[in-house]
Amino acid sequence: MWNRLSGSFNASAKKKTRDVVMKSNALPVETSFKLPSPLPTWPPGEGFASGVIDLGGGLQVRQISTFNKIWTVQQGGPDDKGASFFEPFPIPEGFSMLGCYGQPNSRQLSGWVLVGKDYTDDASNGALKKPVDYTLVLSSESLNIKKEGNGYFWLPVPPDGYRAVGLIITNSPEKPSADRVRCVRTDLTDECQTESLIWASSNDSTGTNFSSLRPSNRGKQAMGVKVGTFASQNLASIVCLKNIKSNLSPMPNQTQIKALMQTYSPLIYMHPDEKYLPSSVTWYFTNGALLYKKGEESSPVKIEPTGSNLPQGGSNDGTYWLDLPLDKKAKESVKKGDLQSSQVYLHVKPMLGGTFTDIVIWVFYPFNGPGRAKVKFFNVSLGKIGQHIGDWEHLTLRVSNFNGELKSIYFSQHSGGTWVDASQLEFQTGNPNTYYYDLG
């Protein structure tokens, strides 16, 4: 199981008491997160880290990570610290806002939102159009909560054949100008779903809450594109974008992937009491791993160092399985693994319509020891429960194809796992730290 420890503490004895008090009252969102090292100059390639991605149909998008704050509420949401809502700024010339951004106050400002450019030069059926009106989704005037002024959430009303991909927020009750945002032609959109809670007001009798959005259909073949906007859970009219061009040219090439790994390769720390360490797959095969076949259990076959005699086909029919060497001494030796030979195995795939690259980092363990139960101050072995031959652990780096920036890491945990935003990671000399414990 991968686990992550995050957070750091920096203090200066020279700081005045007044400064320290002010710092302790500041919300984390008031500080913008930056990776510990500036982005390098990536090796040349086709479209990776070029800043603009063409989704087809006359629509180009850019990823904006700088904002103007519109409204802050200081109660409700994660950790009951409230949330802040922003509009992207500055917006590059020729591009338009598609929706606003929001996040909980409990972490540093670290998000992004897409802006769009219509290059069709088609006034009647262009990729983007202004809304024809706005619907007020929420006014904070009636909410008896701690807040900085009032916030007003507006749903753009799109013209026929177009969809809204984000809400607009203002600090004035007046309707926003139609020039402020653009709606997107329907064929360039995809259905979406809520991802994580941004803010919910316990003082609101209607149960209003806002969550970030992601495409409903995800995976390396899916073309849904996350916009970075948000919506109320009761609002089904907001959609995501879609890469109708199936354009994967923004994906990094092999040279760029190597550069990404040099920049973001995680530092892996093993628990000092870990008995069973990783190895390379080749080491495992070379040191006596055996291939068994159902019905022929009495005559296992030694696996070739390259694995060339393993069954092919890519599906598990339960006919074959791997096991440790029969010799007791060799078996115990293989169980312990060989850290010196260990390697990582990469699986690189497009995500969110080719706007991101997922680099899945796999580590192989010849043996996973039995589970352990913690009883007060003691760890009690659970016998053979949980032990198995050939244990793959993994984590995933999610990198923006707009600029090559690390945005989050997925940490596997038994049959599941969790995504952790880059702002919540611990870094050492620019590389994220990861911690492993699975004591056998």
Q: What burial letters (b/e) apply to 103-139, b meaning 16+ CB within 10 Å?
A: bbbbbbbbbbbbbbbbeeeeeeebbbbbbeebeebbe
Give the pLDDT confidence score for residue 207 in this predicted structure.
Answer: 63
In 13-74, which ranges are continuous DSSP H helix? 17-25
What would you measure as the largest C-alpha separation in the chain, in angstroms?
81
Helices and strands, counts by H and E, the chain:
4, 34
The contacts of residue 349 (CB under 8 Å, 6+ apart) are 220, 357, 358, 360
Which residues share a beta bridge with 104? 83
Q: C-alpha angle with apex 403: 347 to 185, nearest 5 degrees?
A: 95
Pairing of strands 344-351, 230-232: unpaired
* Percent helix / strand / coil, the chain, rounded to 5: 10, 40, 50
Give the pLDDT confidence score for residue 22 in this predicted structure.
Answer: 35
**What is the spatial distance between Cα 182 and Cα 171, in angstroms, rounded to a whole number?**
20
What is the enclosing helix (H) or strand (E) of 256? helix 254-264
* Residue whose tokens read 């603009």: 52
**What is the spatial distance between Cα 243 and Cα 215, in angstroms, rounded to a whole number?**
12
The contacts of residue 57 (CB under 8 Å, 6+ apart) are 120, 127, 185, 187, 188, 244, 245
Amino acid at 219: G
Cα→Cα distances 221→224, 225, 354, 406, 423, Å: 9, 12, 9, 21, 28
Give the pLDDT confidence score for residue 202 in this predicted structure.
Answer: 63
Using DSSP, state whether 9 is helix, strand or coil: coil
Sign of CA dihedral 267, 359, 254, 401: negative
Asked if residues 414 and 248 have their Cβ atoms less than 8 Å apart, the reply is no
Pairing of strands 59-64, 52-56: antiparallel
* Residue whose tokens read 């050939």: 390
Please tell me whether the peptide bond between 90 and the residue prior to it is cis, using omega within 30 degrees of 0: yes
Asked if residues 439 and 274 have their Cβ atoms less than 8 Å apart, the reply is yes
Give the pLDDT confidence score for residue 428 in this predicted structure.
Answer: 83
- Residues (pLDDT < 50) of the chain are 1-24, 371-386, 439-440
